[in-house]
Amino acid sequence: MTSSFFIRFSRSADEMKGFNTSQFRENFLVDGIFRPDHISVTYSMQDRFVIGGAQPVGEALAMPAFEDLTKASFFLERREMGIINVGGPGMVSVDGVAFPLGFKDALYVGKGTRELVFRSDSSAEPAKFYFNSVGAHAVYPPALIPHQTVAPVELGEHATANRRNIYQYIVTSRVQTCQLVMGLTELISPSTWNTFPLAYPLPPQ
């Protein structure tokens, strides 16, 4: 198993006015999230937000503490996490309790979780666990959110090429968290881009 972490620093609005495409990519693009038998983490100084991915292929992957990044003895000592599987079927073990995650299933993991392990059911079709993590001040239990239990919210229009379905996995009406909110957006063909225009606000939760 290998792991890596990167840091993205905050940039001011005035500073970004002079950015070219390469500078925007360098400062904001998060790529290389999924690599075989690897856990990748990108830490944003904006709200101490973490973006990451784990792709177990030939072995199970245990979440490192990333002490230099978290200043903690284990990764979720003072953080909570949301996980969405965008690959083959797999399993996430939360302090020894196994949660199976199929394609597009989600899992909330609370503050204080010491051991977080990612596994794939098959190396031929490995799971791809995308995750977000934020700081937390209280402990809440893990919650599995199967994709089929979440009704999508459809937004956008074909005329503007941004018609899409939004699956609200980790929201206050479904899962108790400190501050993490997380979902999945799917474009509806032939739409080509995703946005969040003020003309299409999400309904109240």
Q: Is residue 181 part of a domain?
A: no
Q: Is residue 131 part of a domain?
A: yes
Coil, helix or strand at residue 80: strand
Asked if the bond preceding 56 is cis, omega within 30° of 0, the reply is: no
Domain that holds residue 49: 2-148
DSSP 77: S
| Count of domains for the chain | 1
Q: Is residue 138 part of a domain?
A: yes
Q: Is residue 191 part of a domain?
A: no
pLDDT digits (tens, 9 = 90+) for 6-29: 776 777 778 778 888 888 887 777
Q: Is residue 155 part of a domain?
A: no
pTM of the model: 0.87
Q: Which residues of 10-38 are buried (b: 16+ CB within 10 A; e: fewer)?
A: eeeeeeeeeeeeeeeeeeeeeeebbeebb
pLDDT digits (tens, 9 = 90+) for 114-138: 999 999 999 999 999 999 999 999 9
Amino acid 196: pLDDT: 56
Q: Is residue 171 part of a domain?
A: no
Are 118 and 63 in contact by the 8 Å Cβ rule? The answer is: yes
Q: What is the CATH number of the domain that holds 89?
A: 2.60.120.10
pLDDT digits (tens, 9 = 90+) for 56-96: 999 999 999 988 888 899 999 999 999 999 999 999 999 99
Q: Is residue 168 part of a domain?
A: no
Q: Is residue 174 part of a domain?
A: no
